[in-house]
Structure formats: structure tokens, C-alpha cells
Structure 1
């Protein structure tokens, strides 16, 4: 599950903008059919050229200086440090694809598990914000290429397997992704990412009773998961379980001070 994203809902809007590790997706009848999209871009061109017009002058100058240094060094520690700095600059600018590009350069030059994971996770971050179908496919492929290398070394990394699974869900072979998510839950029935993602997929396909079951499991094992608590309320609301929805939304109000979440909760309570 991504570390910093929260639920965003416009007041009075029932449809949900899922900003949580989920790209375009098509799934089977158990979890339904759904499409989830967000925004970013990627390219094989140098990111400095790709995003130059979208980044402030001072940031461009810092990036140019760091990139030149990166191109001319061989020391692995320096390569890793400079790639991290470049990735941080691009991440702060909201250019996740470019952040991933430089972490990939470090992974290519250093070629170890640590840097494979950094590159793969960064490409997955960019992937979850991608809109263009071609870029979604490219970012998904990059994600898999690096994270699968880590999984080959350590198959127990279910957190990375979940990310790989979600890239398959949006591919031409969505059942491979669904199968992987089910395997994760078979191996670890309390897995937070697995339960969350299966619940959201059910929501997006309109299978709200099934979604409620997934989120009930999620919050039973992970009661501090505010996103899961909120989506459980929405699932109750959409499946006409009015009393449960009221109780659940009140529970969410007691769990967070986030004004966007609270406003969204109030918009649902007004409908009940």
C-alpha cells in the first residue's frame, strides 16, 4: 500500500476517486470489471528534456548539475546517492516517471537487489498515476522487470508481489494478476495490501456486498487502516446497508482529523 496517499472525495459525489496503487483494471466475475486511472508520463528520452518546461528554473539547474555528475562517475556509492537526490527532486515536482528513470540508471550501473527494488517501486509509483495506455503498459513492464528480479531472490516479499499483481490486472492477462492476489491471501489471509486491493476492485465493479466483506476482513486485522474503514462505510452505503453505513461513518469520524475525509463522510451521512 502506498505510504502517503489518502482518500479524496468531492462532497456530494458518490463515485470514488481511488488514489491507491491501482491502475486501469479488468478482473473476473469474483471481483468484477473496473477501470482506474490517474496521471503521469514516461518516455525513453532524458527526463530533463521531457519535463523541462514544467519545472522551475532553479529546480532545473539543480537537476542538470546532478545529472551531469551522475553521468561521469563510477563509484557505486556516489551513483546511488546522486540517483536518490535526482529522484527526490523529481518526486517533489510530481514527475514520478523521471524519478524512476534515475533510480533505474543506478540499478543498471550497480545491479543489486536494493537498487532493483528502488527502481521497480519507483516505476510502480509512476504507473499508478499514468493515464496514457501506452505509458501504462511501459511503466507496468518496467515495474515487473525489476520487482520480479527481487522476488526471484526473495519470494516471501508479498508487498512487492502485490504491486506486480496489480500491473497484471491492467494488462492483456488480468487473470494473472487476480490469481496472484488470491495466492497472496492464501499464503497470508490477513495481508493488508491484498485485502485492500481486492476490496477496491470489488467496489469499482459495483460488487459492494463483496467489497464490504473484503473491507470487514481488512479492518478486523488492520483497524488503523483509515482508507479501509472509509471504504467499508461506502460499501455499506452502496449495498443499502443503511444502519451499518451510519455506524461505520461515525467510526471513521472518530478516527481522523483529515478535513477532506471528514467532509466526504459528512456528505454520505447527509444522504442516510
Structure 2
């Protein structure tokens, strides 16, 4: 586990349900926002492949396992493409509910392979991205990132204006052996849409991850100016102020976060920072 993640464990507590944040703090440490455009990598993920058959062989309740086996059997014998896709959707939903996101993506991919249309490519790609954000093993991260790019790139070739999907593709490159490719894509997104919510947030978090807290604060300031209800951005802005020794701003911002939510975990994290100010 990276030292940054261990030191900033309070941050992670507020991001339950937030796609991408788990993986961000295990990414290579990259300088993302300096004038010289230099990059510094102190950690790289390993390359490799993962056997897809292993992805959905997970420990789950027996009753659910039985239902999944029955559905998988029906799927294997279904010749009607639409019914086949419907079964994969049900399987994927059940696996997602069980927290087995890689398994969910695997089954959605089966429909994408059979139907070969934009809707199914997007479903598979987004599902693989969700699985990617929860993966911790380097080999699986690389595999899931590659799957994400495979399907979302197909969609982007048809609809290049989908900046939401381009952001996801960019983030998969950040965890690769060439993270600056992902940073460059995020910059392109913000050049095209300076108010882009995901682009601003991800650039802010990546600046935090590389220890560029002042630059992170600037990104989060931009984010909440355009998206004031973005609670994670509001919180991370406070943390960025705290880490860059802007204590007065940090205290004011943490108070702002307290006024925005009743979530006990968020409030506990805020209080832990306020006690240190």
C-alpha cells in the first residue's frame, strides 16, 4: 500500500460509491500540473493477463450461486440474441449486487461480443471500468484497464463527443506504464470543456496523489465553482488547503463541508482534521 494512502486514510472514508477513487491512490506518482510538463514515476503497475474464467469464480452465498448457475446455463443455451443479452444483464446485476464487479463485466462482455452494437460496447466498457476502480492486484488492474479501453474506444470512434467515456479511458492510462498519456487526455478534455466535472475532479485528485496540494486546491476550486454540490470535491479542497498549510482556508472549507452533509463518516473525518488545525 502506498505511503500516501496510509497517511490519508481519512480521505478514503468519504468516497464509498465513488468510481475511480480507490484506484487513484495506488497509481504511479506523476507530476501532473507543472509548467515544465515533466513527469516523475516512482511506481509502475505490472503488465500481464488474467484468465477471464477466474474473474467470476468468487465466494458468494449458496442461494445466489445456485441462481447464477441456473441463469448461466440458460444463457449458454439461448440462441435468441436479445434474450441472451437479457440474461447477461440479469447475471451482471446479481454479481454487481454481490460486489463482484469483474464478474458483472465479464457477462456484459458476452452480450457485447454477440450483439456488436454501441449500447452493448458501452455497457461492457463501463462495467469493466467499474471493476478496474476496485481492483488492487496489479495484473488484474492492467487486464481490466485494457478491457475498458477496448470497448469504450469503440464507442468513442463513433461518438467522439462522449467526454465522460474519454475521461474513463484516460484514467486507465494513468495506471499504465505510460501515465502521461492519460494526463494528456485529461488536459485535452479540459481544453474542450473547462467545466468538465470528472476531468477537474480527477486532475485534482491526481495532483493530491503526487503531493501537489496547491495545484490540487486550484483544481478543486474550479470544480466547486462550476459544481458546488460536488461533496467529494468540497472535501478534497479542504484537505488540499490543509496539506498546503493554508490553515484558515482549510478550517473555513471543512466547516463548509459540515454544512453540506449529515453523513457520519464524512463528519467524523472532517472533525479529525479540524482537531489538527
TM-score for both structures, normalised by structure 2: 0.87
For the pair 1:256 / 2:264, whether they are aligned, the reply is no
The offset of 1:34, in angstroms, is 7.8
Specify which of 222, 225, 233 is matched with residue 220 of structure 1: 225
Q: CA deviation at 1:25?
A: 2.5
Higher RCO structure (Cα 8 Å, ≥6 apart): 1
Cα displacement (A) at 1:15 = 5.8
Partner of 2:11 in structure 1? 16
Distance 1:123 1:158 in 2: 17
The answer for unaligned runs of 5 or more in structure 1 is 1-8
Q: Tell me by how many angstroms 1:175 deviates.
A: 1.2
Counterparts of 1:163-242 in structure 2 under 5 Å? 163-242=168-247
Q: 2:96 matched to 1:91?
A: yes
Residue 28 of structure 1 aligns with which residue? 31
CA shift digits 1:165-201 (9 cap, x unpaired): 0001111111110110000000000000000000000
Going from structure 1 to structure 2, the CA distance change for 1:86 and 1:14 (only over 3 Å counts) comes to closer
Q: Deviations over 1:109-163 (max 9, x none)?
A: 1110000000000001111111111111110100000000000000000000000
For structure 2, the 5+ residue unaligned runs are 35-39
2:51 equivalent in structure 1: 43
Q: Structure 1 118/29 Cα, relative in aligned 2: closer, same or farther at 3 Å?
A: closer
Shift of 1:43: 3.3
8 Å contact 2:190–2:200 — kept in the other structure?
A: yes
Shift of 1:42: 5.9
Q: Does 1:245 align with 2:247?
A: no
Aligned to 2:37: none
Residue 265 (str. 1) matches residue 273 (str. 2): no
For residues 57-81 of structure 1, give each alpha carbon's deviation from its aligned partner in whole angstroms, at most 9, with x where no partner exists: 1000110011111111122221221
Q: SS state of the match for residue 52, structure 2?
A: coil
CA contact (8 A) 2:170 2:181 kept: yes
Give TM-score, length-normalised by structure 1. Answer: 0.88
Instruction: Give me the whole-angstrom Cα distance separating, in 2, the residues matched to 1:82 and 1:35.
Output: 40
Q: Cα offset for 1:16?
A: 3.3
CA distance in 2, matches of 1:36, 1:194: 22
Q: Which runs of 4+ in 1 moved over 2 A?
A: 12-20, 22-37
